[in-house]
A and B are shown apart, each in its own frame.
Chain A
């Protein structure tokens, strides 16, 4: 029992934070918001997967990837390809010159389903692909980079270039990928209407459940010996290497795991929003994911969920009413977070709430004062 409490939930404050988050996304949002707004929240929460992957990779691993959009996009595209094939059954596409293939292929004079689309007609294969393809891609990149001790700034730039390559490739190969518009008009999942209200609620809850699972799983990884080593690598890589550990393998693992987490977010995005396009793959979305993580707190798995919600909520509100102001605000946020609160919202919370809580506790129970602080795992580790 105490194993579960300490390792999975992260001790007292970690468990409390998770509980508050769960109540907020599982109870408060569905009760307080209408279907449309809830769907929007669901969309934001899929970005939180990518932001969480950056907590693992960047906050704890010290390796900044500017290409989490790659994996978010790969996951999303795998799901979208399955849904698109289902939507392009020969009956639905009878008016095309070649029935049975996706409409954008028909527009681009392609008469046969390309080989890499074929297996995506199976749901089981699609789920496996979402879990394996992005992680495998991350493994290849990771082996090539980390084994040769490429890290830091160079890793960031190269992941960014890979994101550019993938975006240009998707936009350029319109016949195979749907081009700049992406894969659209996704309506049914195994014959079940995805656009209905009940489906939207179900997807939202699945999304939340996956999000909480990922938080718990990540906590488990971070509180294990592996997590300790990861932090040690971040702070003094050479010393860990000289102690006899193969640093590259640890980085490769966390990079693959981060890719997997982002891919799950991407797949859930496609299910909830009903399309996938290259605008969620390239440089800008990838950097936005970094800002979600930075605003939420790069060391806090729960903080980044709030960070993601806050930034996206701000983006939706501002870009509706003051589109001009939004970019100024976003740019200002970047600078302010980096310069004034490098630990983001979670850091601010720790800084102000912990002393306050202590004061309150001291008032209630004046006898128990000299107790050592019971701050969360995350602050103990942060510098």
Chain B
């Protein structure tokens, strides 16, 4: 790290740290959905990235609709598009569970293949509907620009917004999973399906809504994603492996672990990117993760639940 003064290093860490926060937010939103689906239901959803893309394309679609028909509405549409992304991705997740996943619960490796097939179909649908080119929505003015914290450090506003959104969604998921009676039913089903059924929980319905919720959160991740990068048909597949690493590294059934691992992975990746090339930063991060997982296969924060 020769050649940089301490001040400069501090500024570099702060700036890269903030750019890492955008990555952290998207990874966390993706991983929250996946942690619910994978951790609670044991389903490996390889199409999760495509549900994120559904959210991103929804935002894009709403943005172009607003621009054409209600230009005055442009500053506010983004908030609605987040909700729309959640609902549309959630409904698609609901259908996917109903048509596909529910037949495969006893064969986790096969859900992996079936959802990979689903992701191929969804990718090609995006390409047919929106074209192969990357698209991005017109962002409202209040999302653009940067807030100058010191003369060396600029904090992009979209990063702050996405961070706040992530915070809200994370709190919502916490509330839903650990405070509401619905969350209690989900956790009961995870721990003992037969017993939950015996006490009157409709476990099939719980499965369907859990899966839909996970996909809906991926949709929100997609809406957030549009503020930091443009969306193409294969955008989702670029993030799926990283997201799985976040979930596995954090400990599949632990939401707190998911947050911690999303943060450490995003920050390691982002800060390393400044010093070595971004591809080597990725290699290094993933390699360290695999090494750690070899010594601690259950992840950072394993659930203490007996299986």
Interface centre among B241, B248, B280 (most CB of A within 10 A): B241
Q: Tell me the smallest distance from the CB of B53 to a CB of chain A, in Å.
A: 14
> Contacts of B124 on A, CB cut-off 8 Å?
324, 327-328, 331
Q: Which of B2-10, B57-65, B67-75, B287-295 contacts the other chain?
A: B287-295
B294 lies within 8 A of A172 (CB): no
What interface size band does chain B fall in?
35 or more
> Contacts of B293 on A, CB cut-off 8 Å?
150, 154, 158
> Contacts of B167 on A, CB cut-off 8 Å?
none
Q: Does B188 contact A (CB under 8 A)?
A: no
Q: How many A-B residue pairs have CB under 8 A?
A: 113
For the complex, give the distance between the alpha carbons of A333 and B117 in Å.
7
Q: Does B279 contact A (CB under 8 A)?
A: yes
Q: Tell me the smallest distance from the CB of A345 to a CB of chain B, in Å.
A: 16
Q: Does B164 contact A (CB under 8 A)?
A: no
Q: Does B103 contact A (CB under 8 A)?
A: yes
B114 lies within 8 A of A338 (CB): yes
Q: Does A171 contact B (CB under 8 A)?
A: yes
A148 lies within 8 A of B100 (CB): no
Within 8 A of B (CB), among A151-202: 152-154, 156-158, 160-162, 164-165, 168-169, 171-172
Q: Tell me the smallest distance from the CB of B46 to a CB of chain A, in Å.
A: 8
Q: Is the interface of A mostly helix, strand, loop or mixed?
A: helix
| Interface 1/0 per residue, B115-141 and A, CB below 8 Å | 011111101100110000000000000
B294 lies within 8 A of A156 (CB): no
Q: Tell me the smallest distance from the CB of B264 to a CB of chain A, in Å.
A: 16
A283 lies within 8 A of B241 (CB): yes
Q: Does A335 contact B (CB under 8 A)?
A: yes
Give the residue of A145, A149, A331, A332 whose beta carbon is less than 8 angstroms from that of B119: A331
Identify the A interface with B (CB < 8 A).
Answer: 58, 64, 66, 144-145, 148-150, 152-154, 156-158, 160-162, 164-165, 168-169, 171-172, 283, 287, 290-291, 294, 324, 327-328, 330-335, 337-339, 342
Q: What are 26 contact pairs spanning A and B, CB under 8 A?
A: A64-B112, A66-B112, A145-B297, A148-B295, A153-B108, A153-B109, A153-B112, A154-B293, A158-B248, A161-B286, A161-B290, A172-B280, A283-B237, A283-B241, A291-B113, A324-B124, A327-B120, A327-B123, A328-B120, A330-B120, A331-B121, A332-B121, A334-B113, A334-B114, A334-B116, A338-B114
Identify the B interface with A (CB < 8 A).
Answer: 42, 44, 100, 103-104, 107-110, 112-114, 116-121, 123-124, 127-128, 237, 241, 244-245, 248, 277, 279-280, 282-283, 286-287, 289-290, 293-295, 297
